[in-house]
Amino acid sequence: MTTETHRYRFSASHRLHVPSLSETENNQLFGKCNNPFGHGHDYILSVTVGGEIDAQTGLIIRAAVLDELVRTHVLSLVSHRNLNRDVAHFREIVPTTENLASFIAGLLERAWPPELEARLARVHVQETDRNGFEVLVGVHRRRPVSNPETIVIHA
Partner 1 sequence: MFVTRKAEFSASHVCRVPELSDAENRELYGEEANPNGHGHNYVLEVTLEGEPDPVTGMVLDLKRVKEILEEEVVEPMDHRFLNYEVTPFDRVVPTAANIAREIWRRLEKRFDDPQFRLERVRLYETSDLYVDVLAEDLAEKAALGEELAA
Which residues sit at the interface with partner 1, rule CB under 8 A?
A: 1-8, 48, 53, 56-60, 62-64, 139-140, 142-144, 146-147, 150
Torsion, Cα 9 13 18 23, to 10 degrees, reads 140
Give me the catalytic one of 14, 17, 41, 127.
Answer: 127
92 in catalytic set = no
Residue with smaller CB distance to partner 1, 18 or 53: 53
127 in catalytic set = yes
C-alpha span between 93 and 124 (Å, rounded):
19
**Least CB distance to partner 1 at residue 13 (A):** 23
What letter represents residue 21's amino acid? L
**Least CB distance to partner 1 at residue 27 (A):** 37
Please compute, for residue 47, the number of CA atoms within 13 A of its CA located in the half-sphere on the CB side. Answer: 25
**Least CB distance to partner 1 at residue 107 (A):** 20
68 in catalytic set = no
The answer to whether 48 and 4 have CB atoms below 8 angstroms apart is yes
Residue with smaller CB distance to partner 1, 63 or 153: 63
φ/ψ region of 138 (left if φ > 0, alpha if ψ in -120 to 50, else beta) reads: left
Residue with smaller CB distance to partner 1, 23 or 54: 54
Contacts with 8 (C-beta within 8 Å, 6 or more apart), sequence order: 44, 45, 46, 47, 70, 74, 75
Give me the catalytic one of 33, 73, 109, 140.
Answer: 33
Residue with smaller CB distance to partner 1, 67 or 98: 67
**Least CB distance to partner 1 at residue 125 (A):** 15
Which of the residues are catalytic? 33, 80, 127
